[in-house]
Structure 1
Amino acid sequence: MYLNKLFRARNIFNCLKFPVRHFASQSDNNKISIYFRRAKLIDSIRLALRSSETSSSFTSLLNDPSLDSFVVSNALVSAPSITSVTSFVESLKSIPQFSHTQHTLYVLAKVLAKFKQTAKLKALINGINSGKFPKVAPISYMDLLRWYSTAGDFDSFLATWDEMRYSRKQPSLEAYNIVMRIYAQRGMNCEAVEILHMMIGEGVVPNSRTYTVMIEQLISNGKLELAMNIFSLLPEMHVNRTLLQYSLLIGAFTSANQFDTVKSLLSNMQMDGMVPSVSIRESLHQMQEAGFFMETANFVQEMLPDDRIKNISLLEDDDDDDNEVMLKPWLDPAALANALRYWGPEEVSKLEDAKVIWTSRLVCKMIRNLHPIETAWKFFCWVSQQPGFSHNSCTISKMVTILARHGHTDLVSELLSKVKSEGIKLPFGQVRTIINYYSVSRNGEAALKVFHDVNKLCGPVPKNYLSLLYSTLLLTLAKSKMTSDALDVLDDMILSGIIPKIETFSGLMHCFAHQGDIRAVQRIFSMAKQSGVEPDAYMLKLLISFYCKSNRAILAFRVFEEMRNDDNLMMPDFATKQLLVKSLWKESKFREAAFVEDKTQGMNNDPSLVSRSSLFKTKFLHLKTVYDIYSSAFMRTNSEDAE
């Protein structure tokens, strides 16, 4: 099915002129063999951790030559209870050849936090920081925040956050996300909003996890529509929507019996190329009970367990089958991919001997983790010939996007041609990602080719999704310095009835201004106004900065006057105003410089305005809208509570 005939006929990999590399099989007892020995030992320890005779079960297992920090770490993570964790750790003390590493100790801390063992967690932290383990580095603020948040130790969490804030170390984005999430989970909504405000003020750009926190918080407070509003804005902000966000929204709207919204979410999920998770299984069953069988059938089918994957088991009592412990075999795609870094005949032979059950999910994870790209492609071709496996749109789209990210245009083109000839439909989100990756390699020609084939690759594309695709293509062409093509595509977009959003116009102006193309900047600004798009303060700021840097301060001054004459009385930020005044002085326009100074008296160096330029570079112009939605929800709640 699909590409199997293609790969049996010949190996397309040979058509690509990759740099020649010869990966000799490693002599260190073969990494693939080591991986599977470790996997077998991890499975044995996982079963022993669930045995009623845990201590005695460990005796022979822990003397296995394959025991190392990797095995111990993965066994700890799978422990079912704090009792089994304690027994396992105590048993390790009797193994002279084993000593803890930083990795095993950090995993132990994470497990203790998961089981809310605050006292034991603090004792371990103190031991590490006091130098009890010489080869282990002191614990960072980030790790402490993660562990205390998981353990539910709010006082220690706040103390660590305060210490981090008052140190010279700038909190990272993930630190802000953790703090924001903890406040939201504890119902401290105003504090969570304040953290987001602090992030923006300090120029920290939110990521998809930040928006997940907002969506989850709004849902938990019954603000489903507001959560959906933020979620709907993410594609326009070039932020990837995540499976967790979909799961949260599907679960919330299913509970509210808003099945039409759930139907729309499932459709968007398919467009984005998302594979459903187990967490939405109950929601899908409720949808089917409500009569939405056709809309959910494919998702339910994808979530069915694969009968080919057999459980591992441990029978506690031969006379009582109810005491049998059964688990899915342990498999870590990232670790297996790392073991396959050197792809040679011996590695392939060991992989075939292992009789791995290849599923679409597993293959996608393998492709994502395999390095270098040559190995990923060889694996992709090899796995297509394995018994019981056929490539589908999920695995193909994953391979194509990775090839595009690494700039292998010829192979992407050939694979997409095969996709079209086989009638396979790729998810829209993956096709858009391909075009976006071509902006990195500055390959606008390839992006145009993919864009023109979008209906053959994805099927009919809804108008709102087509608008996103146009926007992505335009910025790719602009970055590729294909000015004429970008302007032609912009014309076609408008003529087809799709009016670009102001962020698209601003993005093009930003790219062409960076290239010093004054005619392109002026034409795009004119097209925006002709399309009925009202310039905002940021677009005008772009023009002022561009004109000043092009030694055309008088044109920048006219833009400033236009801002002043606008009904909304827009003002440039402090840095732009300073640049304008300096440029006017440089060109001997003293009267105009004095006018700007007079009209901007009392202007402060507002960090939120300054940071917006850096936010733009990562395509977050909608951030203010999102912040207003998020903050206003809890502002209203607070005022109602006050009443």
Structure 2
Amino acid sequence: MGYSHLEVLEGLWDSYDDDISSPDVFDSLIRVCSSLDDTSYAYEVIINLKIEKGFRVSVHAWNNFLNHVLKSDSVDGFFRKYEEMISYGYVENVYTFNLVLYALCKDMRLYEAIGVFYRMLKGGIYPNVVTFNMIIDGACKMGDLDLGLKLFRKMGMMSIGFIRPNSVTFNSLINGYCKLGDMKTAEIIRDEMTKMGIEPNVRTYATLVDGYLRKGCIEEAIRLCSHMVDKDLVPNVVVYNSIIHSLYSKGDTIMASVFLSYMIKTNIPFDKFTDSILVKGLSRNGFLKEALDYHKWLVSKNLESKDGFLENTLIYYLVRSGKDSKPMIKEVLDEISDRGFTPDIVTYGTMIDAFCKQERMLDAVCAYEDMIKMGKKPNLMIYNSIVNGLSKNLSVDLAKIMMDEMKKVGLVDVVSLNSLLNGYFANSKVNEALNLFLQMQEDGRLVNVVSYNIILKFVCKFGSIQEAKEVIEMMVARGVSPDSVSYSILVGNAFRKCSLEEVIGLHDDMVIKGVIPDDQTYDSAFGSVVCEESRDLSSGSIRD
């Protein structure tokens, strides 16, 4: 009715009678304040009661307050309030400990959470299934499946037989194994779930479907989807989104359309992810007209997202489709303007990056100039796209001018410098390249393994293998570890110029430096030798 929380508190306090009133009324007020998504109101009630009225609310009221703090504030904010509660002499119950465990697991502090868990047990506070589920889920999310499974197996023993796993427990384990790609174990856990009389739910199947799709096993994912239907479980929008996204990624637009029709027939409403998947899937598979038509339909129904993601996706693929796409790009931009928005920095960045990748530098520069006219400041990603595009398209002098502009605003990074370095070598401007590399070396933060690989590639092409080896030694001396690309450049060029013994020596030296050989380069250089010598070797190989 418009009264503030403190006015309501005063009214309750003035009418409070120790003999006939219930103290739970103040807990109720705190719950109401917390439910309004403003925990500061609840906190003011707690502190006002304590300091001005000498009244302690129950630990249940604190738990409710802390729960909302955890949902709306940082983990650090939660712990500050939790420690304050303890300082007032409150004794935690299982719900308090569950909140602490949830906060620690959310902050990826698993082993601290386990310490709190054992403190519970020592204090005679028995955990409930939620307690176990949070620890198990935290272990699974951190990839420690052995710990998660160990806790799962000991739930009964640690709770004196009172606690049994539920669907949440199994789903956490299944999700953990799916994230690791161990679908065999995930299926075993699912079977164990069924044997215990706990039927897999939609979330169980959604997790397994996602796991198979991550491994590229679309057939297995579709099999599970059919199995769900056989169990009278209706696949939800998450399941459909995962499958349709994977089908579009594989280019199977026909089967993607089949699943879309299933969604419509079973009245599964599309969400913003479905819309994004549709627009991107149609666009990347060449159905730009259909993607545009779907976007127009969303706009007409006022269903389009307000973040510009769909428009940026359309613009990116329209640019990639060819030079005749300009009218359609203008149409999308006009639609944005008609809705009262202006193209943002992401929209311009999308256009510029796509133009650069299509080697349409004039269009990229025009988009850049339009962005400046609209008062938008380019970010590092946009600058890097232009520098990289100019450097690759024999316009390295223009790239240098752009780099100078970047320096003025303090946005130069190693990516932009590497693009210019590569451009100089590509344009045979060796002195400029070497001078730039020396400048990069002076500031250790502006040189990385990519920088050295660019130098290595040039040296191998126009110099000697001995000079290339010196570049490798320079890398190591400056604390930059060679990678498989370095291996491919050095060994691949040595194979064409040096004897087999020298190539083997280079290979061994790179392996000693911790480089994992590039398989393709290794097979090209040593494949025939390994086949020939395998007749005489009982074990091992050059790779060993």
* TM-score bracket, shorter-length normalisation: 0.3 to 0.5
- Provide TM-score, normalisation by structure 2: 0.40
Higher helix share: 2
- Provide TM-score, normalisation by structure 1: 0.34
Larger Rg: 2
Q: Comparing both chains, which one has the higher relative contact order based on Cα–Cα distances under 8 Å and sequence gaps of 6 or more?
A: 1
